[in-house]
Amino acid sequence: MTNEELKYSITELLPVATYDESGEFLNIIIPSDELIPLMKELRSKKEFDFDYLFCLTCIDWKDHLMMVYHLLSKVHKHCIVVKAKITDIQNPKIESVNCIWKTAELNEDEVYDLFGIRFLNHPNLRRLFLEEDWKGFPLRKNYVDENMIKL
Amino acid sequence: MLLGQDHITEEGEFVINMGPQHPATHGVLHLKIGLDGETIKKIEPHLGYIHRSIEKMCEQLSYRQFIFTTSRMDYLSAHINNQACVLAVEKALQVEATPRAKAIRVLMAELTRLASHQLWWACMGLDLGAVTPFFYAFREREAINTIIEETCGTRLTQNYMVPGGVMMDIHPNFQKRVKEVLKQIKEKAHEYDELLTGNVIFQQRLKGVGYLSKEDAVSYGCSGPTARASGVSCDVRKLFPYDGYEQLKFDEILNTEGDSWARYLVRLGEMKQSISIIEQLIDNIPEGDFQAKTKNVIKLPKGDFYQRVETARGELGVYIVSDGGATPYRCKFRSPNFSNLSAIPKMAEGAKIGDLVAIMATVDLVIPDIDR
Amino acid sequence: MDIKNNVPANKLIFPGQIHETPDGGFLITKLDEVINWARSNSLWPLIFGTSCCAIEMMSAADAKYDWSRFGFEVARASPRQADLIIVAGTIVMKMAPVLKRLYDQMPDPKYVIAMGACTISGGPFFYNTYSVVKGVDHIIPVDVYVPGCPPRPEALLHSMITLQEKIKNEAFFRKS
Ligand code: SF4
């Protein structure tokens, strides 16, 4: 499907979604609680068939956190980027997409480790890279570390 | 080993730790393995023993500098990692490398891939208890390293790519030497087959072991030879060509068996394809500049940019989020090894503990690329 | 240049004088020197590589550089059988206790080579990192430092020869 068609079908599914087409891919920005229903549709509907989650990450925009999911369909060869906005930065949480793409499990562990987002219904949420007792979440913009030597 | 938590789980599985110091994990990977007798029930990877905070560093480095942190990620495909970064920057700036630079990049990338697969082949033998392949493979790998050194100045972490092209022109000897090495590799190819491929013991340790189905490979986000051995067509050079790969003739090696033996064969096949790519290009490097003009201080426009390339281990993605400044606002590396690792518990389920080493050897993990 | 030329000539020969007699001979030497000669020529390194430098360490083992010329080829996977640890690659906070433990498990006398900029000071990961140990000498004592990112195999060989010289001048029995 082309970006236009994707946009059209997704608007039907989820009218609250907003779009950003400035980049290479079609970006869909949704509120974080709409994530799972949309993702399930994107995975299961034959015309979307996004079976390959090739990048899962997070961006800290200081006043909100943005989960970014890059999806590709191996069948139709189209790509899409789903961005879920998390406004509660004190206690961020979002549903896990592990039930849809298994690669999400370790990736979400990584995001939890570095950004501190709690994933609901995640089978084994743990700090993946840092020690269990590490203080703070290093990739947050407000992370301070006295031992870090600034350039 | 480290945690000393050898115990029995509730399900009656015996837990052992493999790594972080283990010769067959190719670095510092730590796997917790739940065993029933000798059969693997569950694997839990524990990472972070080489987590070097590269993504955080990149937020402070300029667009010319951050490229070079990536040669330390997957150091066996250092050129290709650099290539991904410069391509991402070029995409954002909407400049294009000169034709000569593109050809040099592809040549270097394929030489790196060859050298990387040779190292994999060497380690594959070592892991399964055969020491001789190590010396055979390193003979050719050293020859390639010498060529790369002559042009780039270093053997391993080359840092040769810059936005708009390559840092300097190729050495006058480059073409001659490459042809010599290709000749040598082709002449010696049969030795590889005689040593390992045709070895019955070796085959039996790989055949039918570590099966990964096509659906699982996609769902786990596998890429590179690991996924192609399960029949997933995922060669970025074919699907999303960059730097002139669309004009070259090569095959995407696919296999549908999905076991360790298939992964072994796919990698061997890829070496042949790399040789054929180099042969097509080596006499046809276009004349002209090796670098397009770019500004000294690079500032990317606002927005996010994603660029993927095919490293020796799979699809590497560079995701740059720019706020218009001179450094990335956020920089994420989608590493092929990370996803391939997440499929190892699936592959090893039900296998014997002794086969785990063989499975990991065929997936060819580079741990610093997983941890970043 | 062959790295072997770097070795001082008097270090290549066996320490001591042989006096030939018709039915054999005498050897006049110091026990210290013989023991050190034996120890320095049979250092068993531990296979310990965390990242990029480990690849150059592997290159040093291959046929082109061939560290077995100097008696290093018996690389061991277990620290209990090794007496030299070549720290090849970055050490991060999470790895530091493991490295310390490996070092503690090695039998005395033991030696450490810090290979690469990372192990000397943090190297490329000195600035703006939160998880890298800025030099392994914060964790274990280091005998020889090899700069480079990564050091060439020749540099590693040179460091090993330097270590051998250090061992040859040690007092094994006397407390100096
Ligand atoms: S010194 Fe350089 S090559 Fe060696 S481990 Fe550090 S980054 Fe890698």
Residue of B182, B188, B232, B246 lying closest to B339 (CA atoms): B232
The pLDDT of residue C11: 59
Contact B246, B237 (CB under 8 A): no
- Smallest CA-to-CA distance from C87 within C109, C108, C67, C116 is with C116
Judged by CB atoms closer than 8 Å, whether chains meet at C51 and B69 is answered as no
Cα C90 to middle of ligand 1, angstroms:
6
Provide the pLDDT for residue B1. Answer: 31
Chain segment A83-139, per-residue pLDDT in tens: 888 888 888 888 888 888 888 888 888 888 888 888 888 888 888 888 888 888 888
Nearest Cα of chain C lies from the Cα of B68 at a distance, in angstroms, of: 10
Rounded Cα distance, B215 and B192, in Å = 32
- CA of C89, closest atom in ligand 1: 5
Give the mean pLDDT of C71-88: 86
Identity of the residue in C54, C98, C132 whose CB atom sits nearest the CB atom of B20:
C98
Residue B333 contacts residue B317 (beta carbons within 8 Å): yes
Q: Which residue's CA is the nearest one to ligand 1's atom 8?
A: C52
Q: Does residue C17 sit within a domain? A: no
Cβ contact (<8 Å) for B371 and A129?
yes
Nearest residue (by CA) to ligand 1, atom 5, is C89
Closest CA to B314 of B363, B368, B347, B277: B363
- Assign residue C100 the CATH number of its domain: 3.40.50.12280
Does B307 fall in a domain? yes
- Name the CA dihedral angle for A109, A110, A115, A116, rounded to a multiple of 10 degrees: 20
- The pLDDT value recorded for residue C4 is 59
Q: Is B62 exposed, middle or buried (0-12, 13-18, 19+ CB in 10 A)?
A: middle
Asked if the structure places residue B114 within a domain, the reply is yes
Residue A3: CB atoms within 10 Å: 16
Whole-number Å distance between alpha carbons of C136 and C125:
13
Q: Are C100 and C140 in contact (CB under 8 A)?
A: yes
Q: What is the pLDDT of chain B when averaged over all its residues? A: 85
Nearest CA in chain C to B149: C152
Q: Do B156 and C94 touch (CB under 8 A)?
A: no
Sign of CA dihedral B51, C93, C120, A150: positive
Compute the distance from residue B367 Cα to the ligand 1 centre, in Å.
Answer: 14
- Is residue B3 pLDDT above 50, yes or no? no
Q: Read off φ and ψ for residue B53, nearest 5 degrees.
A: 55, 40
Chain A residues whose beta carbon lies within 8 Å of the beta carbon of residue B47? 128-129
Residue B178 lies in a domain: yes
DSSP assignment letter at C152: P
pLDDT band of B219, cuts 50, 70, 90: confident
Residue C3 predicted with pLDDT over 70: no
From A102, A124, A129, residue closest to B47, measured CB to CB:
A129
Mean pLDDT over B251-270 rounds to: 87
pLDDT at residue B256 tops 80: yes
Q: Are B117 and B138 in contact (CB under 8 A)?
A: no
pLDDT at C175: 56
Residue A151 has pLDDT above 80, yes or no: no
Phi-psi region of B342 (alpha: psi -120 to 50; beta: other; left: phi over 0): alpha
For residue B119, give both structure tokens.
């190292």
Residue A146 has pLDDT above 80, yes or no: no
Length of chain C: 176
**What is residue A100's predicted lDDT score, i.e. its pLDDT?**
86
Does the residue C118 lie in any domain?
Answer: yes
Query: Does the distance separating the beta carbons of C102 and B75 come in below 8 Å?
Result: no
Choose among B72, B24, B101: nearest CA to B294: B101
Selected residue with higher pLDDT from C171 and A124:
A124
| Position with higher pLDDT, B156 vs A15 | B156
Q: Could you give the CA distance from residue C45 to residue C48 in angstroms, rounded to a whole number?
A: 8
Residue of B nearest to C97 (CA): B2
Tell how far the Cα of C111 is from the centroid of ligand 1, in angstroms: 21
Tokens representing C120 are: 């000397």
C150 interfaces chain B, CB cutoff of 8 Å: yes
Sign of CA dihedral A73, A74, A79, A85: positive
Residue C95 lies in a domain: yes
**Number of domains chain C is built from:** 1
Contact between A143 and C126 using a beta-carbon 8 Å cutoff:
no
Structural domains of chain A in order of their starting residue, each with its CATH number: 3-92 (3.30.460.80)
Position B4 scores a pLDDT of 42
Residues 6+ apart with CB under 8 A from C168: C11, C15, C33, C36, C37, C40
Q: Which of B290-294, B319-323, C83-87, C149-153 has the lowest mean pLDDT?
A: B290-294
The values of phi and psi at residue B220, to 5°, are -80, 0
Q: What is the rounded CA–CA span in Å between residue C81 and residue C43?
A: 10
Question: Within a 13 Å sphere around the CA of C89, how many CA atoms are in the beta-carbon half?
Answer: 28
Residues B244-258 as b/e (b if ≥16 CB within 10 A, e otherwise) read: ebeebebebbbbebb
Q: Tell which of A144, A148, A150 to mutate to test the C interface (max C CBs under 10 Å).
A: A148
CA of C116 to the centre of ligand 1 (A): 6
Nearest to B332, CA basis, from A56, C65, C94: A56
Count of B-C CB contacts under 8 Å: 109
Residue B93 contacts residue B297 (beta carbons within 8 Å):
no
Q: Average pLDDT, stretch B37-66? A: 87
> Once rounded to an integer, what is the mean pLDDT over residues B289-295?
82
Indicate the number of domains in chain B. Answer: 1
Q: What is the pLDDT of residue B169?
A: 85
The predicted model gives C61-78 an average pLDDT of 84
The answer to whether residue B162 is domain-embedded is yes
Q: Is residue C151 part of a domain?
A: yes
- What is residue B266's DSSP assignment? H
Number of inter-chain CB pairs under 8 A, A vs B: 86
Q: What is the pTM of this model?
A: 0.88
Q: State the smallest CA–CA distance between residue A139 and chain C in angstroms.
A: 10
Alpha-carbon distance of A55 to A83, in angstroms, equals 12
Is the bond into C109 cis (omega within 30 degrees of 0)?
Answer: yes
pLDDT average, residue stretch B330-346: 88
Looking up tokens 């068939």 gives A49
Angstrom distance (rounded) from CA A137 to CA B178: 47
Question: Does residue B62 have a pLDDT over 80?
Answer: yes
User: What is the span of the domain harbouring residue C47?
Assistant: 43-168
Q: What is the pLDDT of residue C5?
A: 66
Q: Whose CA is nearest to atom 6 of ligand 1?
A: C118
Q: Do A150 and C93 touch (CB under 8 A)?
A: no
Ligand 1, CB within 6 Å, residue ranges: B 72, 157; C 51-53, 89-90, 116-118, 123-124, 149-150
CA B1 to chain centre: 28
Best residue among C48, C50, C51, C152 to mutate for probing ligand 1, ranked by most atoms within 8 Å of CB: C51
| Å from CA of C89 to ligand 1 middle | 5
Selecting from B55, B232, B371 the residue whose C-beta is nearest the C-beta of A74 gives: B232
All residues of chain C having their beta carbon less than 8 Å from the beta carbon of residue B50 are 50-51, 89-90, 92, 95
Q: Does B14 touch chain C (CB under 8 A)?
A: no
User: How would DSSP label each residue in B20-32?
Assistant: SSBGGGTBS-EEE
Segment B129-143 shows an average pLDDT of: 87
CATH number at residue B343: 1.10.645.10
So what's the pLDDT on residue C10?
Answer: 60
Using CB atoms, which residue from B55, B219, B303 is nearest to A139?
B55
Residue A108, min C-alpha distance to chain C (Å): 20
Phi, psi for residue A150 in degrees, rounded to 5? -85, 145
Neighbours of chain B (3+ CB pairs under 8 A): A, C
Contacts of A114 in chain B (CB under 8 A): 55
Residue in B45, B233, B332 nearest the CB of A57: B332
User: Which range of residues forms the domain containing residue B245?
Assistant: 50-369
Residue of C nearest to A138 (CA): C130
Write out pLDDT tens, residues C123-167: 888 888 888 888 888 889 998 999 888 888 888 888 888 888 888
Residue C89 within any structural domain of the chain: yes
Residues of C with CB under 8 A from a CB of A: 93-94, 126-131, 134
C-alpha span between C90 and C139 (Å, rounded):
13
